[in-house]
Amino acid sequence: MIFFRLNTWVLFSLLVLIIGGLSFLGLLAGRRLRSHPEALKGPVGVVQGSLLGLVALLLAFGLAMAVDRFEERRLLVVQEADDIGTTYLRAQTLTEPARSRSLALLKDYADVAIALANQVPRSARFEASRTLIASLQRRLWTEAGVALAADPIGNASRLYVESLNPMFDVHADRVASLRNLVPTPVLLLEIIGSAVALAVLAMYLSMIGRGIGITVVAALFVIFILFVSVDLDRPKRGYIRVPSTPLEDTRALMDLPPAVPAVSLG
């Protein structure tokens, strides 16, 4: 969890410090070893090649994990927006007074869902929104019970109840996805492994008298990959964020007059 609580620039600076610092130490070590026998350069070259191959696999694995989690969160936002919209449409077919109360509660529910989508997970505001969502879910379920009791043989109330359950479930899935982060040991392995591999690469290049340009380019490339991998997995904290546009579009539709007029029994 360490990397997900850091400020974006602090995170970037930390990566530069670790990767760049060890690469620089590798360059210094290579200069000192430059005068050693040629036989030493061969084993170092083999080691740095093996390490770079291993790090490439680690970076690809870590990036794939982060992308999968980002895509899952994006799809869940779309699904929740769809479920809220479907529930709102079906609520219009309920009889009064459950209809009006349910429509008002669903608007509040959508507002809180949007707020939750734009808050940092595990923050105080995030937890407060979660509590409010749970309260709204309970009130919506109560109104659904009232609608069923008022019209026990009607289809409208039953269809409405059938849409409430998926709406509640997808919200729970979305909250869980925000807490489903790439494990910290995996990120530490990527960062430390990359730093060591680049240090050995820098040492080898320095031993054979090459310039530092290749080392700098390789370090910047690795830093960029690591930064993107971590940033993808930092919901609402980094630069790469899951948009809440689907929820906002659904909420905007709720401001239109209901398509189904109110109906009262009796």
Statement: residue 67 has pLDDT above 60? yes
State phi, psi for 257 to the nearest 5 degrees.
Answer: -60, 140
Residue 96 and residue 45 in one domain? no
Residue 80 and residue 162 in one domain? yes
Domain that holds residue 184: 75-191+243-255
Residue 88 and residue 152 in one domain? yes
Residue 118 and residue 159 in one domain? yes
pLDDT digits (tens, 9 = 90+) for 93-127: 888 888 899 999 999 999 999 998 888 887 888 89
pLDDT at 49: 73
What is 169-236 written as a DSSP string?
HHHHHHHHHHH----HHHHHHHHHHHHHHHHHHHHHHHHTT--SHHHHHHHHHHHHHHHHHHHHTSTT
Q: Is residue 205 part of a domain?
A: no
Given a contact cutoff of 8 angstroms between Cβ atoms, the answer to whether 189 and 33 are in contact is no
User: Mean pLDDT throughout 172-181?
Assistant: 88
What's the total number of domains in the chain?
2
Residue 44 and residue 79 in one domain? no
Q: Is residue 264 part of a domain?
A: no
Residue 161 and residue 109 in one domain? yes
pLDDT digits (tens, 9 = 90+) for 129-144: 999 999 999 999 999 9
pLDDT band at 246; cut points 50, 70, 90: very high
Residue 94 and residue 167 in one domain? yes
pLDDT digits (tens, 9 = 90+) for 179-205: 887 788 888 888 888 888 888 888 878
Dihedral in degrees, nearest 10, Cα atoms 77, 251, 166, 237: 30
- Residue 95: strand, helix, or coil: strand
Residue 119 and residue 187 in one domain? yes
Q: Is residue 158 part of a domain?
A: yes
pLDDT at 39: 54
Q: Is residue 69 part of a domain?
A: no
Residue 4 and residue 123 in one domain? no
pLDDT at 104: 95
> Rounded to whole angstroms, what are the CA distances from 19 to 3, 106, 136, 153, 195?
15, 49, 48, 68, 5
Residue 28 and residue 97 in one domain? no
User: Mean pLDDT throughout 24-52?
Assistant: 72
pLDDT band at 210; cut points 50, 70, 90: low
Q: Is residue 212 part of a domain?
A: no
- Considering 49, 65, 88, which residue would you say is the last residue of a domain? 49
